[in-house]
Amino acid sequence: MEQARGALPSRAEIPAEYRWKLEDLYPSAEEWEQDLKTVETLAAEFAGYQGRIGESAATLRAALALRDRLGRLMDKTFVYAKMHRDEDNTNPHGQAMVERAQALLTRVGEMTAFFLPELMAVPQTALDAYLQAEPVLAQYRHFLADLIRRKQHILSPEEERILALSSELAGSGENIFTMLNNADLEFPAVHDEEGREVPLTHGRYLRFLESKERTVRQEAFLALHRTYHRYRNTLAAALNAGVKSNVFYARARRYPSALVASLDDDNIKEDVYNSLIDGVHAALPAFQQYFQQKQAMLGLAEMHPYDLYVSPVADFELKISYEEAKAVVKTGLRLLGGEYAALLDKAFTEGWIDVYENKGKTSGAYAWGCYDSHPYILMNYQGTANDLFTLAHELGHALHSYLSNRAQPYINAQYPIFLAEIASTVNEVLLVLHLIETAQNQREKVYYLHHFLEHFRGTVFRQTMFAEFEKLIHQQVEQGEALTAEWLEDEYFRLAQFYHGPGVVLDPELKAEWSRIPHFFYNFYVYKYATGFCAAVAFVQRFRAEGQKAVEAYLELLRSGGSDYPLALLARAGVDLSTPQPISEAMAMFRQLLPEFTL
């Protein structure tokens, strides 16, 4: 099935084979309801351990096991509710399910808030003795060591209870943005290449930006950004709420800044964040040279933001059905071996993937799931090259989760986001190199080279610009200033000018771009795209130089989940992101590709 242009289909009109199987999580709503009740029961049972956590090795073992059981069931109920809503954000039943699941998480957080402070109060000598006495506790060794490391940031039981009570409010900014962005925001119709009026949607926007017709690109760009601009004050208020939430929790936990607090979750120093920005700044001359080359290839007198995405190869464009995309992905990732290929087959045939856009469906793409389910992937497949690579990207996340969940106990299975973007980007880099190397002629090769260079632009340069903007907006709030729409527009535009240089004419409508980026609500998430890309390039270079040995080290990294700190796991697999080297090597590859980028 390839979607026709025009009005979006309803959820029911999408064939079942292109919808994920949420029934694998819960065959019926009644079973979800029952698990909500079970979560309440388990939370009450866990609350019975208050005041007893450190009394003996057996008590600690039992409390941790119950905590895991409770966590697994909370994950399962929330994941199901959220994905059910994502199928159609206009469905009030799905909205209500998410609200109920979030409210339950808050109540459970309040009931269990005593645990970490109590565990922190157990003397180190006692913990060591318990680990010796109860071999089953060995799986919690990293968890316990990390808690001790962060001991100064764990508050008293009463303070932790208050923070838990506030957690539902903390997501208000993001929730407001999500509902406005996915359910209420409506874009005007625009004209396609044949001059027909077509509704502009999130899923179609990128396709329009990749159009060979400049008027199509320009009209879509202006229509989308002017729509966001009309809601700039509401969106600024939502973002202000999100940033204030991050700052509040950082200060409550005695961190010097929201950035330091966010990085500390992964035991990463601020130098890693700043080193990324510095490394990308050093490569901006090459970045701006790329725009100059592309402008010349496109034959444009001026380069505008709506010209950045289009391929300079006028007579080659990849249009690929979903069925064809599955086969190309499998071939492109064959270097990862037979086990990985078998898991790709499971993903394609066992209801992991929700493929096509429908009315009310959450925009974009993601991979998710829980410890007790197979992974799930949300797509809005349109048949473009970008969709092909997005499929490979999300499969990287999904198979990372699958391997980790089956190799690690629950306490260690959840890998940090810092590692997540490596697994997804390795897949994209392998796929694009395969397509470059098997291109039938120079024009096809340049088409895929353009995609790879665009990957650098979008994942390293653009995400680092976002990371720099995110640092600025948090500093603004930390200094007691407000994030007004005018300030956000001016700062974002200034940063965009610095990155793109004088060779790109930035339309004033670009000032609204900050307001449509959901990742600004994710508490310093975006820099991990850029570091992940650079690490992925390093891994792929190792695969090609060292063969199976490097592939096995990488797969072992995927199986390691969160069993150690991300920088330590990466170093064990052969890539050291605590140094600037992977960033420098990735930027060097970008420079090396530029001379090949010519027709």
**Closest residue by Cα to residue 140 from 73, 53, 217, 201:** 53
Please tell me whether residue 504 adopts helix, strand or coil conformation.
strand
Q: Do residues 264 and 153 touch, judged by C-beta distance below 8 A?
A: yes
Show the beta-strand stretches assigned E in 311-456: 353-354, 366-368, 376-378
List 110, 118, 219, 394, catalytic entry: 394
C-alpha distances out from residue 180 to 89, 90, 174, 232, Å: 10, 11, 10, 12
Decide: 263 and 444 in contact? Cβ < 8 Å: no
Q: Could you give the C-alpha distances from 100 to 36, 80, 182, in angstroms and in order?
A: 9, 12, 20
Q: What dihedral do alpha carbons 512, 518, 521, 526 form, nearest 10°?
A: -100
Say which amino acid occupies 299.
Answer: G
Residue 472 is encoded by which pair of tokens? Answer: 């600025």
Antiparallel, parallel or unpaired: β 189-191 and 353-354: unpaired
**Angle separating helix axes 232-252 and 157-170, nearest 10 degrees:** 170
Residue 120 per-residue DSSP state: H
CB 177 within 8 A of CB 518: yes
Query: CA 85, CA 96: separation in Å to the nearest integer?
Result: 9
394 is catalytic: yes
Residues facing 303 on adjacent strands:
504
The catalytic site residues sit at: 394
